[in-house]
A and B are shown apart, each in its own frame.
Chain A
């Protein structure tokens, strides 16, 4: 995680929770520091004229039976209450951290023993532990600190353990071990710093509950003993006369609640800033419209029309627009490949089309129509049925696209139950049939299995099978084979091809691999920095890529014919960040043929040949070396 600028802390202060909690915390700390100095005498002066009286102008919260002012006693008690609570928290956090991280340093059997002990301790309610420990350590301030502290420890140990275990599984810890870094240093240098933030947040919240427990102990009379007094002690004293002077009990009670709130809300606000919990921000202005790119070609029968699509997300200094004016159409039965590097906006384009961009992201377009229906104007309810049965989406990681706790067959059947109104048994029969259609062996038995029992390739097939539960007119596959091996990749691509041939389903294949895309699709859209920079057929006379980026991408793609002796061609530099786009062409900085015009004026996607659009001021139409100069043959170095 990078360092957070001071700005996000300031922003947190401006939120209601942040501002309130900060004010409260400052108040509590100020009282703790100044209270005893300013009001010690008042809290101890006996007003013999007013013994055990109710609230009056002189004594706002009344007096106790010795005539001492309860209001000032509550203020003065802040220091002891807060200090004891913090001491207990400190004790709890430190012992919890030690217990939680020991297992990763100790030899395995001993570590397991510690873990088991912590697990047993976590099973008891912490109040029970407090009482148990206070019996052991005896009545008094010291005993109470130990009791509350040790009662906090198990849950902290558990938290530290879980987080340390997740960090210990990361590659950088493995890398450090390979470098010969010892266990203790591994813990201090790599694991603790990376779990620090959530621990601090939880410690703040724990301080709130320690304060409560402590007040509870004092209230029961086993915490702070007279003549010392904290809020719990005052509460205890006040309760004796509650029918005479309710304020005597209410004032310390209120103090406990407010201080507890101060700690808990501060923890909450800190969590918001350090990212333990994310909070949506709402920048004021809507994204600025981007200059129009070329309009989509019009086709009456188009399955999908995308015209000037933009996807914007609120960023720190305004809107970031990772997809900037993308236009294309997909006709029935067409296979279109969308290629680009990470951050090019290719996946967001797919997500926007399937309406999966969630707030705070904003999708705008001049036209975004699927099967003749506008995806932006039509109400959600009407669209759900259409998208549920006619649009199928296949993601890169099939493990996360299925619910791990439900059988595959049922998950498929749900689609038909929801959208086609089939009965449970009919839907399940259809699911088995569709699993068979995507060539899953022993489909009936497989339908009863859970996602983890499927291999990666089989899960992807089941995902396509799920899309086939309806009658899809379009399948959007976002890197469907990236996590798979070449042999399984081939099976899956063939399955897509067969589906397309049998049902005239259109396919949008999103991939980073131009070789895969050019071998499976008729048309290729090349994306760079949120725009389509080239739209070309993958075969035929127009298949010579003209955009320098497409050409460079092809040149850098390795295949089995690459010259082993020569160094591999590279594209210098890196793509621009979506929030820091240059004025002109986004590729100009890395482009060998860039001129002054490229740096000032952004090229528009323009027709250069039938079915071939390029967004470049200096398109290069010299065929690439290789048979027929077509895109699929550009394996070698340029």
Chain B
């Protein structure tokens, strides 16, 4: 099994007034491990995933699979992806068996029927369904088919991009259980992308937090969730629906400038630290911290705990720890 490494990956769309969706990301998905990637929409999570499978143009840096640049790999890469929306990721005019067959490398197509049956059973679907069209399946079942198709390519690395966010809560659990058991059974390396921290926490060995095209914190899942270093991670944890607080409660100590702060415009990322326009420990609240306006905290990040991209992460004691959220 091999590891997936993003080496200073940059993805830029458009020309002079374009958008840098991913800006110098270094991320390592160790062999056989699950790395959860969280962040808000527009932070570049999906673009990063699509860059790995060749759907987004990598304008700088490299994506390495087992040490080899993915652009040098043959067209059928041992790197597969499951998409967010199971209603659009399967061709409505192909039977699910045909969809899966397409992903089986040509050399192994002879025993395709047996292989399809094996894959469908692996994802807990009745092999007799191979002749059905996606229209006859529910959302959860379609997502299983999408997973089976990804596995048909015998991948070493699997990328899962928000695979449960289009599913109902009652179905989500079954898909997550399945993904976990398949990942463990096959020893896959996996990049698991979700905006939902609870989902990421359940599946991941490591957690990476992305903000405006950059990774701002990375570490073992339990540590990052129990002892978040970057203020953005702390904010995400605090905003996650939890059994123990009312979401309506406005924290008395929270200044109004923060309560309604807007996410920055990715077309014009702020200078210095990209989070300073929303940061509760930054110059908005503590005016003496003008360092954040000038200096990019990314440079010294590798030396900090969890590689936090924050000038002051080590000065701060975590203001908010999630009760019971220690990640078992």
Contacts and interface: CB of A to CB of B under 8 A. Distances in A.
Contacts of A284: none
A396 to B, nearest CB: 13
A561 B243 contact: yes
Contacts of B54: 177-178
Interface in A1-47: 1-3
Nearest to A498: B250
A552 B170 contact: yes
A599 B241 CA distance: 36
B223 interface: no
A564 B328 contact: yes
Contacts of A362: none
A519 B249 CA distance: 9
A568 interface: yes
A179 B153 contact: yes
Nearest to A562: B202
B103 A179 contact: yes
Contacts of B239: 485-487, 489-490
A225 B328 CA distance: 88
B247 A493 contact: yes
B88 A558 contact: no
Contacts of A193: 91, 93
Contacts of B260: 439, 441, 491
A489 B240 CA distance: 9
Contact of B202 (A439, A519, A568, A569): A568
A491 B259 contact: yes
A4 to B, nearest CB: 11
Nearest to B55: A174
A497 interface: yes
A299 to B, nearest CB: 24
A194 interface: yes
B274 to A, nearest CB: 15
Nearest to B87: A171
Given A341-B168, A516-B241, A561-B324, A180 B75 contact: yes
A178 B80 CA distance: 6
Contacts of B77: 178, 180
Nearest to A440: B260
A313 to B, nearest CB: 19
B177 A568 contact: yes
Interface stretch (B14-22, B134-142, B311-319): B134-142
A629 B236 CA distance: 27
A469 to B, nearest CB: 20
B237 interface: yes
B88 A170 contact: yes
Nearest to A3: B133
Given A490-B239, A519-B245, A570-B170, A560 B201 contact: yes
A520 B247 contact: yes
A176 interface: yes
Nearest to A590: B170
A359 interface: no
Contacts of A596: none
A605 interface: no
Contacts, number: 207
Contacts of A1: 92-93, 135
Nearest to B80: A178
Interface stretch (B25-33, B110-118, B190-198, B297-305): B190-198
A493 B90 CA distance: 35
B244 A633 contact: yes
Interface in A457-507: 457-458, 483-491, 493-494, 497
A553 B169 contact: yes
A57 interface: no
Contacts of B246: 519-520
A634 B169 CA distance: 14
A194 B135 CA distance: 14
A580 to B, nearest CB: 14
Contact of B85 (A171, A556, A559, A563): A171
Given A519-B247, A520-B246, A189 B94 contact: yes
B250 A558 contact: no
Which size bracket describes the interface of A in this complex?
A: 35 or more
A626 interface: yes
A512 B164 CA distance: 13
Contacts of B263: 455, 457, 485, 487-488
A182 B75 contact: yes
B76 interface: yes
A175 B81 contact: yes
Nearest to A335: B248
A250 to B, nearest CB: 47
Contacts of A177: 54-55
Nearest to A491: B260
B248 A513 contact: no
A514 interface: yes
Interface in B235-287: 235-237, 239-248, 250, 259-260, 262-263, 265
B128 interface: no
B48 interface: no
Interface in B112-149: 133, 135-136, 138-140, 146, 149
Contacts of A569: 173
A322 to B, nearest CB: 16
A181 interface: yes
A116 interface: no
B30 to A, nearest CB: 18
A635 interface: yes
A635 B202 CA distance: 13
A490 B172 contact: no
B40 A487 contact: yes
A492 to B, nearest CB: 10
B232 to A, nearest CB: 9
B241 A574 contact: no
A563 B328 contact: yes
Contacts of A493: 247-248
Contact of A567 (B102, B177, B240, B250): B177
B325 interface: yes
Contacts of B259: 439, 491, 494
Interface in B67-109: 74-77, 79-81, 83-85, 88-94, 99, 102-103, 105
A560 B168 contact: no
Q: Which of B74, B84, B105, B168 has the most CB of A within 10 A?
A: B168
Nearest to B105: A180
B220 interface: no
A147 interface: no
B15 to A, nearest CB: 15
Contacts of B174: 568, 570
Contact of A562 (B102, B168, B170, B198): B198
A455 B262 contact: yes
Contacts of B328: 563-565
B53 interface: yes
A571 interface: yes
Contacts of A176: 91, 102
Interface string A151-176: 00000000000000000001110111
11 contacts: A189-B94, A341-B169, A487-B235, A488-B263, A515-B242, A519-B247, A558-B176, A559-B243, A568-B173, A570-B177, A632-B244
Given A175-B81, A516-B247, A553-B169, 13 more contacts: A1-B135, A172-B88, A178-B54, A179-B76, A179-B103, A181-B102, A193-B93, A485-B40, A556-B169, A558-B172, A558-B196, A560-B322, A568-B172
Interface of B: 40-41, 50, 53-55, 74-77, 79-81, 83-85, 88-94, 99, 102-103, 105, 133, 135-136, 138-140, 146, 149, 152-153, 168-174, 176-177, 180, 195-199, 201-202, 225, 235-237, 239-248, 250, 259-260, 262-263, 265, 322-325, 327-328
Interface of A: 1-3, 170-172, 174-182, 189-190, 193-194, 341-342, 439, 441, 455-458, 483-491, 493-494, 497, 512-516, 519-520, 552-553, 556-565, 567-571, 574, 626, 632-635
Across the A-B interface, give the 6 residue pairs with the lowest CB-CB distance, nearest first: A180-B76, A485-B40, A568-B173, A515-B241, A560-B325, A171-B89
